[in-house]
């Protein structure tokens, strides 16, 4: 492997989803200026997220399905396209 091309600051980082107060620790090279003391007594860099798998509608089952059939028919009717 070539030296000097890989990130050197690969460390555990705490990610916090601020919308549902969900936190998880993952190793990362992301730069952040905030830190937080975690339940295990260690201090970790903190990255605040707006959305994660705990708050995203696709993963929570609250995703809305669109009625695309009616939309396509209206488009075709509006522009005179015959099916």
Q: pLDDT digits over 58-79, tens only?
A: 655 665 666 666 777 888 888 8
d(CA 34, CA 26): 16
Entry pTM: 0.62
At 77, phi and psi to the nearest 5?
Answer: -65, -40
At 62 the three-state DSSP class reads coil
For the chain, the domains span: 11-78
- pLDDT per residue as tens, the chain (83 positions): 688 888 888 999 999 988 888 899 999 999 999 999 999 999 999 999 887 777 765 655 665 666 666 777 888 888 877 65
């Amino acid at each position: 492997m070539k030296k000097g091309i890989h990130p050197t600051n690969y460390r555990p980082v705490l990610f916090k989803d601020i919308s549902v107060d969900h936190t998880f620790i993952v190793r990362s090279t992301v730069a952040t200026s905030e830190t937080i003391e975690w339940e295990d007594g260690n201090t970790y860099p903190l990255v605040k997220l707006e959305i994660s798998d705990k708050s995203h509608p696709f993963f929570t089952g609250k995703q809305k399905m669109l009625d695309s059939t009616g939309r396509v028919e209206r488009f075709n009717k509006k522009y005179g396209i015959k099916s």
